[in-house]
Structure 1
Amino acid sequence: MAYRSRLSAAALTTSAVLLAALSAGCGGHAGTGDLTTQKLDWKDCPAPSRAEGGGTSPSPLSSGAKWQCATMKAPLDWSRPKGDTIDIALIRAKATGDPSRRIGSLVFNFGGPGGSGVSTLPAFGADYATLNTRYDLVSFDPRGVGRSAPVECESDAQLDSYFQQDATPDDSAEQKQLVDRTKQFNDACEKNSRTILPHVRTTDAARDMDLMRQVLGDDKLHYFGISYGTELGGVYAHLFPKHVGRAVFDAVVDPTEDPEQSALGQTKGFQLALDNFAKDCASKGDCPIGDTPQEVKDRIAKLLDDLEKKPIPGVFPRQLTQTAATNGIAQSLYSKDFWEYLTEGLQQAYEGDGKILMLLSDSMNGRSEDGEYSNITAANVAINCSDEKPRYTTDDVRRKLPEFRAASPVFGTYMAWGMLGCTDWAVPGAADHPEVSAPGSAPILVVGNTGDPATPYEGAKKMVDALGKGVAVELTYKGQGHGSYDSKNKCVQSAVNDYLLDGKVPKPGTVCS
C-alpha cells in the first residue's frame, strides 16, 4: 500500500519481526536533569513481548557474544525536552575483537517503519559477525514500536477482520465499506494511543538516535539503515550532519517522492520482481504454474480474480481472500529465497488449499501462529501518516487507477486503493516527502539493488542527489530481493565492511553482481 502498511512494512525483516520482544507505555515521569548523562543498565534480554512479536530470549552469537538489553529515557515531546519521558528499548552485542581497535557502536534500523530492532538484530546478528569485531552491534525499538511506547490500535480479532477485507473495491458500495473500515482502524489508533500518536514522526526518532549516540558515549553516529532505515538515516543526517560517522544506506527509499509516487514506484517494483520470478520458474522446465513467464503471470492473475469471487480455506478458520493472497505473494517477493514457497503456495492454492499463501500474508502482517499480532501494522500506519502530508480521497484513487493498473495487473489496483490509509488520521502529516539534504556530513555509502521490489533501484540515485554534492557514494548490486548486504554477495559485503571497518569508500559507480 502507499502508506507501506501492507506491502513493505516488513521489508527484509518480516520473519524476524515474528520473533520479537517486550512492551512498555508512554508518558513517564517528568524529565529531570540532562538526559544525555543517563546511565544505561544493561542486562540479559528477556523474552520478546507480544508487541514485538513474541518468542524466546535471543541466543548468544556463535562468537559467544551475549545480547544485552537496556532502556533509554527520551522526551515524549522533543519540543518540551524537560517534560514527560518515554522508554526507548535498546539491545546490543559488545564488540568481540581487540578492545584497542574498537570503533564504537554501530546502530541499526531495519525498516518498516514499525519493525522492532530489539527482535530483528539478534535474528540477523550472524550476518554482521565481521562488523561485530570492531563495533558494538546496537539496535532499538523506535518510538511507537515494540516496547518503546507502542502504538496500539485494534484487537487480534479485529485485525483478522482488517486483513481479510476487500482491498480492491469494484463499486461504490465496496468503496464505502473500505473507507469505513479504514476509518474504524484509524479511530481505534486515536482512542488507544492518543498520548504517543503526535510524537512518532521520523524527525522524533532521529532526535532519539542523537540522544542514543551521546548516551552510548560516541562522538559520531555510526549507522546501518535498511529500507525505511535509509529514510531515518537521511533525516538524521539532515538534522545532525556534523554528527554522522560511517553510515551505510541499503535498500534505499526515494526521499523525493510523495506517497502517491511512492506507491506507484512500489507497484512497478513488485511487478518487476514478479516478472523475474515468472522467468525463473519457467526457465526450469518443470514449473508447476506455467510453461512460459506470461502463462505464470496470467495464472496468478486468474487465481486472484477467482479468490475475489470465492475464497478458499486458508489457516483455519480463516479463508484465503484475494487481499490475503496478494499480500502473501508480495511477501514472497522480498527475497529470492522465498520463491520456492511462492511456487508451492500457488500450486496448493490451485488445488483449493490456501494455507501457505495465508502464512506468508500473516508473516507480512506480524501475526504469530497463535493468532497474536505484533504492533508492526499499528506503528507503520502511525509513523507514515504522521510523516506524510497528503490525504487522498476515493476520487483521487479512481483517477489514478488506470496508471496503477498499467504498472501492474496484479498489484496495481491493490496499491492504488492503499492510498486511502491515512484518510481521517488524527494527526496532520508533516510534509510531502522527507528532507535529507546533509551538507557537511561525512561520506554515506548508498547501496541500491536493481531487483528490489519494495524500494526500487532508482531511489538510490535520488537519495544520493538529495543528500547533496560530495556526501553520498553509490554502490549498485545487480541482484534480486529487498536489500543487498544480507544477500551474502561477497562484493557488496566487502565494500560495506571495508568502509565501516577501515573507512575505505568504494569508487563512485562501483557495480557488484
Structure 2
Amino acid sequence: MPSRPRTRAAVLCAALSLATALGGCAGETKAEDLPSQKLDWKDCPAPSEAQGGGESPSPLPGGAAWQCATMKAPLDWNEPKGDTIDIALIRARASGKKENRIGSLVFNFGGPGGSGITTLPAFGEDYANLRTRYDLVSFDPRGVGRSAPVKCESDKQLDAYYQEDSTPDDEAEEQTYLDGVKKFNAACDENSGEVLPQVRTTDAARDMDLMRQVLGDKKLHYFGVSYGTELGGVYAHLFPKNVGRAVFDAVVDPTQSPEEGSLGQAKGFQRALENYAKDCTSKIEDCPVGDTAEDVQAKISKLLDDLDEKPLPGLGARKLTQTAATNGIAQSLYSKDFWQYLTDGLEQAYDGDGRILMTLSDSMNGRSPDGTYSNMSAANIAINCADDKPRYTPSDVKAKLPKFREASPLFGDFLAWGMVGCTDWAVDGAADHPDVSAAGADPILVVGNTGDPATPYEGARKMVDSLGKGVGVELTYKGQGHGAYDSGDKCVRRAVDGYLLDGKSPAAGTVCS
C-alpha cells in the first residue's frame, strides 16, 4: 500500500482488547475537570511496539532526564462527557533560569502517524538552545503509539502486504493490489472501529488546546514539522487567539486535494532524485551509480523495471520488489544525509543484493529489524482517510496516470495508485482540504525548503496566503531534504531561535542559502 510518503516506530499485540488499546474509560475523569487535571510526570518507559520499540530515551547532555505522562481527553469531542482516552506526553524541563522560562514548546514531527514520544528525544540535542527558555514537549497524537493506537494487520500480514505489487501493470495485478488494500482497510475497521472516526486533525488540534491548558500556558507555543504544519494550521484556525509563538517547517500545502498533494509529491521526489543524481556525478569521481545525472536516473529506472520481473534477495525470506525499492529510494531522499545510503544501496542492488534498499523501505514502513511494525502506517492511513473527503477509484487513477508519469517517471505510478488507499475506508472523510485561515492569530513563522521532496517548497507560500494577512511570515531555505531547521543551517537556526526565544520574527521573504 503506497500511502503518501511521510516523515518519521510495531503493531500492538492481537491479544490486547480494544478497551486496553483505547487507554481509557468512561467516568475516570469528568469532562469539566479535564482542563484542571494534574499530570503525573515519571521516568519514561521503553517505547511500546506501536511506538517502534527500543530502549527508554537516554538523558540529554548534562544529565537532564526525559519525563512521560498521560493526559485524559474525550474520545469523541462532540460528546465530551463520554469516554476518555489517554494522550501520551513527553517533556524535558527548561534548562535556564526559572524567571526566563517562557512556557512549554509543543512539537509535532508529522506523518501523520509519527510518535512524538520517540522522535523528540532522537532530535533533543538539536533543540538545546530552545530548551534554555522552554520545556520541550511532544506527544503521540490520538491514533498513534500509546494514544489510542489504531491497529490493522498483524506483523506477518504486513510483511506479505508490503511484498505485493502496488504499481499494477495488468488486470490480474490490479485486482490483487485492490484486494490487498480492501483486506487491510477491513482489518483496521475490525480491530479499531471505535477509534477510526475520532482521529481527524481537528480532534488532535482540540487535544492540543486541552494540552495547553493542562500544561499551564495561556498560549500554545508550537513547532510543527511536515504534517505538523497542517495540524498547527488547523489549530490556528480553531483557536486563533490561543496561538503563541509558532513555527511551521516543511510546510504542507493546505489548499490541495489528496490528488493534488500526491501529484505535488511526485514532482518533489523527482526533483530531489535529480538533485541527488547531479550531486553524485558532479562531486564524486566515478560516481558508482552512473556517469551523468541522466545516466543515474536511467539506470535506476532499469533497475526498477528489472525488479518488476524478477525481485532480488532482500532480508530473510522477503524479496526486494519494485515497490520496496521505490519505497526505499523515496525514504533516502528525505535527507541529504541519507544520499550515501542510496548510493550504497543502488550499487549493491546492481550487483544483485537488495538488503540496503530493503532496510530503507522497512524504515519507511515502520518495520523494526526484529520483524515487528510500529503502528505508523496504520495511523497514517487512518488519519488521512478521516481527514480527506475524496475517494478515488481505479478508473480515476488510470485517467490520471499520464499526468503523474509526466511529473515523475520513477515515482508517478507509485503515488498515483496510492490514492485508492481510502476507497474502502469505513469512515467518511471530513473535507477536501483543511481550513487554516487564522485571522487574529499572532505571527506564525513559515519555513519552506526549495529542495524538499515530501512537502514541496510551493506549499509554504500557499500556507502563508491561507493563514491570512498579517499572520504567516515566510522564510525560505535554499537546501535539500525534508525540512530546514534540522539541516543545521545557521541562518535558519538564527531566524527560528530569534523568533521563539526573543519574539523577533525575520523580515517576510528572508532567504537562507
TM class by shorter-chain length? over 0.9
- Which structure 2 residues correspond to residues 432-447 of structure 1 after superposition, within 5 A? 432-447=432-447
Cα distance in 2 for residues equivalent to 1:172 and 1:222: 51
Q: Name the structure 1 match of 2:339.
A: 339
- Which structure 2 residues correspond to residues 198-217 of structure 1 after superposition, within 5 A? 198-217=197-216
Cα distance in 1 for residues equivalent to 2:290 and 2:449: 27
Contact 2:3 2:415 in 1 (8 A): no
Code of the aligned partner of 1:253: V
- Which structure 2 residues correspond to residues 4-403 of structure 1 after superposition, within 5 A? 4=4, 7-8=5-6, 11=7, 14=8, 17=9, 24-26=21-23, 28-30=25-27, 31-32=29-30, 33-283=32-282, 284-403=284-403
Q: Secondary structure at the match of 1:334?
A: coil
Code of the aligned partner of 2:461: K
Cα distance in 2 for residues equivalent to 1:163 and 1:257: 28
Note the alpha carbon deviations across 1:343-398, whole angstroms, 9 max, x for none.
00000001110000000000011100000000000000000000000000011001
Cα distance in 2 for residues equivalent to 1:356 and 1:392: 33
1:453 Cα shift? 0.1
Q: Secondary structure at the match of 1:448?
A: strand
Contact 1:3 1:263 in 2 (8 A): no
Query: Unpaired runs of 5+ in structure 1?
Result: none
Contact 1:105 1:216 in 2 (8 A): yes
- Which structure 2 residues correspond to residues 474-493 of structure 1 after superposition, within 5 A? 474-493=474-493
Code of the aligned partner of 2:488: K
Contact 2:71 2:89 in 1 (8 A): yes
Q: Secondary structure at the match of 1:34?
A: helix
Q: Secondary structure at the match of 1:445?
A: strand
1:27 Cα shift? 5.1
Cα distance in 1 for residues equivalent to 2:66 and 2:80: 30
Q: Secondary structure at the match of 2:246?
A: strand
Cα distance in 2 for residues equivalent to 1:437 and 1:370: 44
Cα distance in 2 for residues equivalent to 1:3 and 1:375: 14
TM-score (norm 2): 0.97
Code of the aligned partner of 1:498: G
Cα distance in 1 for residues equivalent to 2:325 and 2:377: 18
Q: Secondary structure at the match of 1:275?
A: helix
Contact 2:91 2:138 in 1 (8 A): yes
1:2 Cα shift? 7.8
1:163 Cα shift? 1.0
Contact 1:26 1:76 in 2 (8 A): no
Code of the aligned partner of 2:22: G
Contact 1:26 1:195 in 2 (8 A): no
1:194 Cα shift? 1.0
Q: Secondary structure at the match of 2:129?
A: helix
Cα distance in 2 for residues equivalent to 1:63 and 1:468: 42
Contact 2:2 2:166 in 1 (8 A): no
1:63 Cα shift? 2.9
Code of the aligned partner of 2:172: A
Contact 1:285 1:291 in 2 (8 A): no
Cα distance in 1 for residues equivalent to 2:94 and 2:492: 22
Contact 1:227 1:253 in 2 (8 A): yes
1:25 Cα shift? 2.5
1:64 Cα shift? 2.2
1:26 Cα shift? 4.2
Q: Secondary structure at the match of 1:389?
A: coil
Contact 1:49 1:146 in 2 (8 A): yes
- Alignment root-mean-square deviation, CA: 1.3
Cα distance in 1 for residues equivalent to 2:62 and 2:254: 37
1:164 Cα shift? 1.1
Code of the aligned partner of 1:466: S
Contact 1:24 1:150 in 2 (8 A): yes
Cα distance in 1 for residues equivalent to 2:92 and 2:417: 42
**How many residues are aligned here?**
503
Cα distance in 2 for residues equivalent to 1:214 and 1:120: 23
